[in-house]
Structure 1
Amino acid sequence: MTAPVELEPDYYLTNFQKLVQFVVSRYEALLSTEELRFYRTFQQLDINSRRLYVRLLSRKGVPSSAGPLFRLDKLTYTEIENLPGATRRLADAGLLQRNPPLPLQEWLPLFSKAELLDRSPRPLPRTPKRAELVSALLSGDTNPAALREAIVADVPLLSLQAAEHFNTFRLCFFGNLNQDLTDYVLRDLGLYRYENYPLDRQQLPFQSREQIEQHLRYYKCLEQLDGTLEAGPDAIESLCAQLPPGIEGDATLHRRLERLRLTLARQLERLEDFEGAERLYRRCTRPPARERRARIAVRLGDIDTGLALCREILAAPYDEAERVFAENFGYRTAKKVGCLAEWQVPARYRPPTHTVVLPRATERVELLAAAWLEKSGNAGGDRCFYVENSLINGVLGLYIWDILFAPVAGAFCNPFQIAPSDFRTSDFYPQRRTAFEQRLAELDDGQWAQRVWRTYRGKWGIANPLVAWEALPESLLELALARIPAIHWRPLFSRLLADIAHHRSGLPDLVLFPAGGGYELVEVKGPGDRLQQNQLRWMAFFDRHDIPHRVLHVTWQPS
């Protein structure tokens, strides 16, 4: 058993310093004067002041107009010597403000209900609701200065400064503002091992200050999203006007802006502001923009426009899900108005199905089915594995490992990525099209399995978004590479690569290797369970490519 890893008491400071130094070493020319001043000021502080600053930066303070708020009497960090002294030095450096002059209502969230009741200069109702208590406190005739003196005078209060500058460093390091220093901790604890990919300056995602500014502006808009959705159409229009215009060639920013516009448009649609929703959907190229436009048109009685959009999708579908929508919605709409001349009934594939009655047990139904399949073989010696999405995804991940981690511009921001930043997007395949086509062509030379084995043994345990190591034992991999022919691997890999975000799930639960040779993919459905649409699409695909498959329905024996 591996001994637990013990982190240094100030591991967070080490990680913070690595992050900011990484960004300065690669992006110094793109950082503002204020951001560089923040970096240099921090570097000149004593170690205890740096520890305190990073501790506060990592905590969720009370938001205020002066920066995140904290109470010094609530801070306890054993590794920081002389906490009040560190506070003074941070204040002298401009990274902390002590007792900033704020309206009382901005300080009140730092105090508990019990404290407010105890410190109030006049009796307050002992209401269970904090909001009512605060309202009663602020609405009385007590002088505001006297009220502030009574509640906060003897409590040392702090507001963190320059935190917005760290957002720029975080954005440059992670490529987003959703991640934090936890990723370092996961590495240090040994929970993840990362591939060693190049991080050359010319391959990093941000190549201009304007890019950085627009991404920061996008995240400021994103912070307002929840309140905007609740506020109504006018607030949505206002937020749309604040969105950055986008940068030519910055596919990541384009995706983020489209995702936000789609969310806003969908809310306008729910609020029955169809004109505003249509206007926003028209600015989006990705699904489900055309689908929503078609639905809006039909809802408003404009059948011709709805059907025209379905035809447009069918002529050039963005992905398989959009094509399936256009086939089904177009047919149903045309049927309602009696103009079916050009619309065919959508195909409904019915996979081969077998039903088996098994004794009820506490084990997963997939494991029970696997055991039954092994025992039911005529010759004995059949092997059945519970793989779900791990087998085909895993073999693909091993086969394209070097392409997945190749130095594509903008794909990698820092050393802690298990996948390129565009992995789950429609840009993933086109960005690497030539390399993928060449690699798939190598399936014909009969040597491709050797590449898989070399990667399997050389990269074991390193994080890869397609490879679940513990679900891919050697015994399974050996049978899969020997039994599943290249003529089947090629279409499987091609479909996965075409739309990894949607196609990496929905694969069958089991793979059966009969003693007599060959293989079969088996989807298990327990009592009351039914095939999902992505599973049906996979099985229709198997049928087109003669890949052996079936559905095994399990019912329970009567008690």
Structure 2
Amino acid sequence: MTTALPDLPEGYYLDNFRRLLDTVVDRYDDLLSPDDRDFVKRFRALNQAPARLLVRLYTRKGPFFRRDKLNYPEIPDLDAALTDLAQSGLVDLSPELTAGELARLLTLAELRRLDWLPDRKAAKAVLLEMLDEWPDVQPASDWQVDIPILLPRHWLTLRRLQLMYFGNEYQSLTDFVLSDLGLFQYEPYSLDRRQRRFNTALEIDQQLALNDLKAEYYQAQENGDRDTLLQLAGDLLRDDWCESIRDRLDRLRNRVGFRLEQWGELDTALALFQTNDQPPARERRCRIDYKAGRYQIAWDTLQQLRDRPRDATEIRFGQRFMPRLARKLSQPVDPDPVHAPIEHRACWPRGNGSVEQLACEHLPDSVWLENLLPLGVFGLIHWDLVFREVPGAFHHPFQQGPADLHDPDFLNRRGTSPQRLYRELTARDARDRIRRHWSAKFGRFNPFVHWAALDETLVLRCFDTVPWEHWVAIFHHLWLDLRRHRAGFPDLFQFRPGQDAGYRFIEIKGPGDRLQDNQRDWLAVFSEAGIPAEVWYVDYA
């Protein structure tokens, strides 16, 4: 039975925008630009109808709009509202626009009535491509179009305000609505100036600039535009970037560097990879130096990588690349331990469902939980740690988890480490946390807990079946790289009462399927920790 959603009050979107505005002013008053302050002053002076209309426009795809396409029952006199907005300097009722911008507002039939159209028989996509080359900018009337066009102003200010509120540009006022409807529930945490994402105006400006560079990167990559990528590299190699955006900056540097490496621009790619140690920077440096015959430099980088790997991809690269590089330098290499998983082959009649569902039918007392089981247990046990309030972790009320969740120093910032965590935590305490958090937190967002796919009784049964030291080994591997290790866990959990271990994890592979690297990583962890795990290769009878 579907639960009916509550009705939102009329003008809810204006209330939400005011909440956003008030929060930003309260938290970032010292960082607001003159344009920001001017917008806030003008907006707060508006009457209800024009304020509602402006927010409606801001939440639609713009920036230009046709007057005849606007219709909001809660704003009966749109023309009066538009007049107020124009007098307040918040909307331009006769904006200048290019031919391409205008064409996107018109239907194909409307376009073909224009005398200046280069080809009336062309498809609209072809026409847009032609018109985008025209540089002229003028009002719609000068383009011989008598349809009223309007342009809300202060788009950049809106972008800045939303960035200050959310700390990113992928969330929006929609998050308010989803919360108001009760569709999403978030963990409560305090929000004040100490928790804000940015502490200087320069950080805000640079984050916006970095987001623009990221958009340019994706466009250049799609178009195969080498010159633009080289220009981007120059911007990214500047040394005046703020430390607070370093993590995001390094991720983009590595993306651009990898693409330039593929395109043969090795010197520029290497310069980008030398700015940071975020994976895969050290791996790419090794490969470029190896290709250039700089074997000793590559060897030194590889030793650093193997001594202190940042994630599983670096461990795997070190294992695979070390023998090749050692041969070039006549260096002895101790072989890494080989973890060969226990394998079985089965031939079963093909069913109607997936191969995992078929395996559950043939392997008694098995459940198909895959990554949901370890992540759910991990999230429930470590709930308080994940949502512990440290400066900068939570800066708006719609976060599924802390902003620094995937940072290498996540635990260190919270005054602990994996070793310390599990010296102090017992199996009984962990089980109590699962039960307590299931009861108190059910339905709230947690980056590890997928409520709809889990059952408390089943989770507790799995937890009780697996020895605590096995859970600790699993948690250690998760902490090594929370971003990448959340995937690759075996498909099935099978209860085996009366057997030595009492359970086993089973990875199921259908015809033609093979183990992925992250699955091999988990199987290696299981082998070292004595956790029972097997791989079953299934063919159909």
- TM-score, normalization: structure 1? 0.88
1:260–1:144 distance in 2 versus 1, CA, 3 Å: closer
Paired with 1:445 and 1:349, the residues of 2 have a C-alpha distance of 28
Look up the match of 1:377: none
**Residue of structure 2 equivalent to 1:544:** 528
Alignment match of 2:506 (pick from 508, 516, 522): 522
Q: 2:350 aligns with which of 356, 360, 378?
A: 360
Matches within 5 A, 1:37-52: 37-52=38-53
Is 1:28 the counterpart of 2:23 in the alignment?
no
**1:343-372 deviation line (CA, Å, top 9, x unaligned):** 344544210112222211112221221221
Report what 2:93 is aligned to. Answer: 98
Contact 1:293 1:306 in 2 (8 A): yes
Q: Percent identity?
A: 36
Structure 1 CA distance, aligned partners of 2:400 and 2:262? 37
Structure 1 pair 266/22, CA: closer, same or farther in 2 (3 Å)? same
For the structure 1 residues 498 and 104, does the alpha-carbon distance in structure 2 shift closer, same or farther, using more than 3 Å as the test? closer
Measure how far apart 1:107 and its partner are.
2.8
Report the counterpart of residue 343 of structure 1 in structure 2: 333
- Matching residue within 464, 483, 489 for 2:465: 483
Partner SS state of residue 434, structure 1: coil
**1:70/1:147 CA distance change after superposition, 3 Å:** closer
Unaligned runs of 5+ in 1: 62-67, 375-382
The 1:203/1:514 distance shift into structure 2, 3 A limit, reads same
- For 2:162 and 2:283, locate their aligned partners in 1 and report how far apart those are by CA, in whole Å: 36
SS in 2 for 1:425: coil
- The structural deviation recorded for 1:397 is 0.6
Aligned pairs, number: 534
Q: Partner amino acid for 2:47?
A: D
Distance (Å, rounded) in 1 between the aligned partners of 2:38 and 2:93: 21
In structure 2, relative to structure 1, the CA distance for the partners of 1:426 and 1:98 (3 Å cut) is same
Alpha-carbon distance change, 509 to 91 in structure 1, aligned in 2, over 3 angstroms: same
Partner of 1:316: 308
Shift of 1:21: 1.4
Partner of 2:152: 160
Q: Which residue of 1 aligns with 2:208?
A: 216
Shift in Å at residue 129 of structure 1? Answer: 5.5
- Partner-residue secondary structure (3-state), 1:398: helix
Deviations 1:433-486 (A, max 9, x none): 517655422333733311221111111111111111122212212212321121
User: Residue 402 of structure 2: SS of its match in structure 1?
Assistant: coil
Distance 1:519 1:177 in 2: 45
Across the aligned residues of Structure 1 and Structure 2, the Cα RMSD in angstroms comes to 2.7
2:61 match? 60
Q: Where does 1:410-559 land on structure 2 (aligned, <5 Å)?
A: 410-434=392-416, 437-444=419-426, 446-516=428-498, 518-557=502-541
- Report if the CA contact (8 A) 2:94-2:140 is conserved: no
Partner secondary structure for residue 403 of structure 2: coil
Aligned pair 1:284/2:280, yes or no?
A: no
1:434/1:210 CA distance change after superposition, 3 Å = same
**Separation in structure 1 between the aligned mates of residue 128 and residue 160 of structure 2, nearest angstrom:** 39
CA pair 200-345 structure 1, distance change in 2 beyond 3 A: same
Task: Judge conservation of contact 2:286–2:301 (CA < 8 Å) in 1.
Answer: yes
Secondary structure at the residue paired with 2:104?
helix
Q: Could you tell me how far apart the structure 2 residues matched to 1:236 and 1:138 are?
A: 22
Alignment match, 2:231: 238
The TM-score with structure 2 as length reference comes to 0.91
Distance 1:206 1:133, change over 3 A: closer
- Partners of 1:433 and 1:525 lie apart in 2 by 41
Structure 1 residues 323 and 145: alpha-carbon distance in aligned structure 2, compared to 1, 3 A threshold: closer
Distance 1:353 1:53, change over 3 A: same
Distance 1:362 1:26, change over 3 A: same
Task: Write the letter of the residue equivalent to 1:352.
Answer: I
Selected match of 1:187 from 175, 179, 184: 179
Q: How many Å apart are 1:236 and its aligned residue?
A: 3.1
**Structure 2 counterpart of 1:267:** 259
Question: Are 2:312 and 2:521, in contact at CA under 8 Å, matched by a contact in 1?
Answer: no
Give the direction of change, closer, same or farther, for the CA distance of 1:445–1:81 in structure 2 (3 Å limit). Answer: same
Query: What 5-or-longer segments of structure 2 have no aligned partner?
Result: none
2:368 is the alignment partner of 1:386: yes
